[in-house]
Amino acid sequence: MSETDNTAPGPTAEDEPRRDFLVKLSLGLGGVAALAVGVPVVSAVLAPLLQADPQTWRKVGTLADFDIGSTHLVKFENANPVAWSGVSSESAAWLRRDSATAFTAFSVNCAHLGCPVRWEPGAGLFMCPCHGGIYYKDGTVAAGPPPRGLTQYHIRVSGHDVELLTAPIPITDITAS
Amino acid sequence: MKILRSIGAWLDDRLGISDTVMPLARHLVPPGAKWSYVFGSAALFCLILQVVTGLALTLLYQPTSSEAYQSLQFITHQAVFGRTLRAIHYFGASGMVLLVGVHMMRVYITASYKFPREMSWISGVFLLFLTLAMGFTGQLLRWDSNGVWSAVVAAEQVGRIPVVGTYVARLLLGGDTIGGQSLSRFYSYHTLLFPGLLLGLVGFHLYLVIRNGVSEPPVAGRPVDPKTYRQWYQAMLKKVGVPFWPTAAWRDTLFGAIVILSIFGLALLYGPPELTTPPSPATINTNPAPDWYLLPVFALFALMPAKIESYVIFIGPILTVIGLLALPFVSNAGERSPLRRPWAVFGSLCVVVFVGALLLLGEQAPWSPKFTAQPLTAGLVHSSDPQVVAGSALFYNKGCLYCHLIDGHGGRRGPELTEVGRRLTPGELEIRIVNGGGNMPAYGGVVSKKELAALVAFLGTRK
């Protein structure tokens, strides 16, 4: 029937502005709707970049806990743990007491790909189990693939407490080596 | 009976099974494909297995950084059939990686990616990387100390991307350290984002098979000519084509069933991988290593020169992706038969040998200090000279044994020292110990003069 029916109102020149308006209206409103929903969605995706990354002084022990010349593994809590972090909010550092008041703290993350380095007291070296990165006791590279030495944490003595400034996991960028 | 038949007819009318689905199932395929064509469908069977077992695991798993480890202990040791479920999911992942690899190799060797199937190859490349991404994020969801350190290693790798690396690493971990926010992200990637992309792409991949037809088994001397191929292919199908279901599909079904049953058998026999210690980033006495299918990459990081590594980590994947995506455009016509493409076969063999060798090396990890080495026994020292005995103790105590092999004991990073006393004079030994060199730390600042003398005395007896 429709094939022979030429009397049905087809699009005419007068309709043109109206149709144009409706198309623009639907696309515009669609865009606004997508934007309205998109902002919170993209925010959730990008949240880690939008939050500030606080740093906090954490007590890791008292002066009496550390002998001069010895290296200890100290544990501390992240700067801003969430309620459901559990033990995953823990971090660790290698802490050495150099003198009565001076301390050095090294990141446990190998500068190669972030694996945990172990302090071998007999050898006086930090060794990584993943790809065999080895560091001298001052944190400089002794052997293996790490492109730079171990990262250090800020450390201070406050009264009898030894405090460490929490820091991000050190990410080795392409400019190292 | 009559009622059943009328219900069947009603459903068929409304769903269009006879009209739409059956013609698809019965579409003509070239004859003679035989067993070399079963790997793609077997990979699909594995994917379905992973979806089903993964879904079941989410009923038992707690995706929070504090509770995932306990819930995995529950799944493994308490839940009814939980151990088997986890094991099937684990071996299913291995099976899928393996079959995707074999399928891809078959497609390359028989040049099935040539005209008009370029997009099949391209969607397949993305499917390969999604499969590996699923394997990696899944291993991480175990959220024991190995999982935590895998997350750190992943962040460190993306950290090498120029300019934006640190930001991408933060996005991956959900913050600047591991914490309560980390696992949620990986859980979302592994159970929602990647599977969604994977299933969508698989649908596209299969749609292309229907649209362009299954590639016919290649015949030497019958090159693909894009101008005439489609016409020739349709004529060939009309003449000798066989319906996919059931004439060609029974092999896929049989092989798929064997694969699933093998995975089930392995799961019963070996169980899931044991969890290591709880997910505290402060637990540093771990030995993080990926599951076997990522060990070649792990090995590559240990073996490539450190100077170029940052660039390789970043440029390597890009070049690999570009190379794989370019393949069907670089060679989309001509011979398909492996008999006429010896370099393609040789290249594939090289890749298999290269990846296989890296896998074996990754398994042994000879570049890692062997922390489990035990002090040398008196029998091995075979000397009562106090200086030699002291030297042997120092050899262990100073970590030398972690990297050097003596009579089959110790690590394999440095040269074997079983007979070093024959090779080197005491003076040469002293120089090497004090100065280090190559991949050996300089021990000058670590050992005293007396200790050095004892070490040299001990090594001098190794003849």
Over range B175-188, report the average pLDDT. 93
Q: How far is A19 from chain B (nearest CA, A)?
A: 35
Q: Under an 8 A CB cutoff, do A120 and B399 touch?
A: yes
Of A80, A118, A171, the CB nearest to B155: A171
Closest partner CB to B278 (pick from A75, A87, A166): A87
For residue A4, count CB atoms less than 10 angstroms from its CB and return exposed for 0-12, middle for 13-18, buried for 19 or more: exposed
Q: Which of B119, B60, B164 is nearest to B329 (CA)?
A: B119
Tell me the mean pLDDT in the region B223-235.
Answer: 95
Least Cα separation, residue A119 to chain B (angstroms): 10
Q: What's the predicted TM-score (pTM) here? A: 0.91
Which whole number is the average pLDDT over B247-259? 94
Q: Is the per-residue pLDDT at A4 higher than 70? A: no
CA distance B199 to B194: 9
- In this complex, the residue of A53, A84, A145 whose CB is nearest that of residue B309 is A145
Looking at the predicted structure, is the pLDDT value of residue B14 above 80? yes
Answer whether residue A6 shows pLDDT above 90.
no
Q: What are the distances in angstroms from CA A129 to CA A80, B169, B415?
A: 29, 22, 19
Give the one of A129, A145, A171 whose C-beta lies nearest to B306's C-beta: A145
pLDDT tier for residue A10 given thresholds of 50, 70 and 90: low
Beta-sheet pairing, A103-107 with A152-153: antiparallel
Distance CA A132, CA A117 (A): 9
The amino acid at A11: P
Please report where in the chains the tokens 């934007």 appear, as a residue.
A35
pLDDT at position B287 is 86
When pLDDT is cut at 50, 70 and 90, the band that residue A134 belongs to is very high
Q: Return the beta strands (E) in A41-89 as ranges.
A: 57-62, 71-77
Segment B187-210 shows an average pLDDT of: 97
Q: Does pLDDT of B87 surpass 90?
A: yes
A7: pLDDT confidence band, cut at 50, 70 and 90? Answer: low
Structure tokens of A95? 């802490």
Contact between A84 and B180 using a beta-carbon 8 Å cutoff: yes
Q: Which of A84, A143, A172 sits opposite B159 (nearest CB)?
A: A172
d(CA B142, CA B278): 10
Flag whether pLDDT at A52 surpasses 90: no
pLDDT at A176: 74
Helix axes B342-364, B82-109, angle to 10 degrees: 150
Q: Cβ–Cβ of A115/B288 closer than 8 Å?
A: yes
Chain B 401-460, residues with CB within 8 Å of chain A CB atoms: 402, 413, 436, 438-442, 445-446
Mutation for testing the A interface, residue in B368, B403, B432 having most A CBs under 10 Å: B368
- Long-range CB contacts for residues A96-101, cutoff 8 Å, separation at least 24: A96/A69, A96/A70, A96/A71, A96/A72, A96/A137, A97/A66, A97/A67, A97/A68, A97/A69, A97/A70, A98/A68, A98/A69, A99/A68, A100/A68, A101/A157
Average pLDDT over residues B299-315: 87
Query: What does the pLDDT read at residue A2?
Result: 47
Residue B310 has a pLDDT of 83
* B391 touches A at CB < 8 Å: no
CB B262 within 8 A of CB B52: no
Residue B34 is predicted with a pLDDT of 78
Region B96-114: what's the mean pLDDT?
96
Nearest chain A CA: its distance from B308 CA (Å): 9
What is the arithmetic mean of pLDDT over B190-194? 97
**pLDDT of A3 over the 80 cut:** no
Q: With contacts defined as CB-CB under 8 Å, which chain B residues touch A46?
A: 171
Mean pLDDT of B429-449: 90
3-state secondary structure of A163: strand
pLDDT at A170 over 90: yes
Angle of the B82-109 helix axis to the B39-58 helix axis, nearest 10: 150
Which burial class, exposed, middle or buried, applies to B197 when counting CB atoms under 10 A from its CB (0-12, 13-18, 19+)?
A: middle
Report, as an integer, the average pLDDT of B177-199: 95
Q: For the segment A68-120, what is each residue's pLDDT rounded down to a tens digit?
A: 999 999 999 999 899 999 999 999 999 999 998 899 999 999 999 999 999 99
Q: Choose from A12-16, A51-55, B41-45, B439-443 the range with maximum mean pLDDT.
A: B41-45
The confidence score (pLDDT) of residue B308 equals 86
- B292 confidence band (pLDDT: 50, 70, 90): very high
Confidence of residue B391 (pLDDT cuts 50, 70, 90): very high
Beta bridge partners, A73, equal A94
Q: What is the dihedral of CA B323, B329, B333, B334, to 10 degrees?
A: -30
Q: What is the pLDDT of residue A1?
A: 44
pLDDT of residue A5: 55
- Smallest CA-to-CA distance from B72 within B139, B150, B142, B138 is with B142
| Whether the predicted pLDDT of A24 surpasses 80 | yes
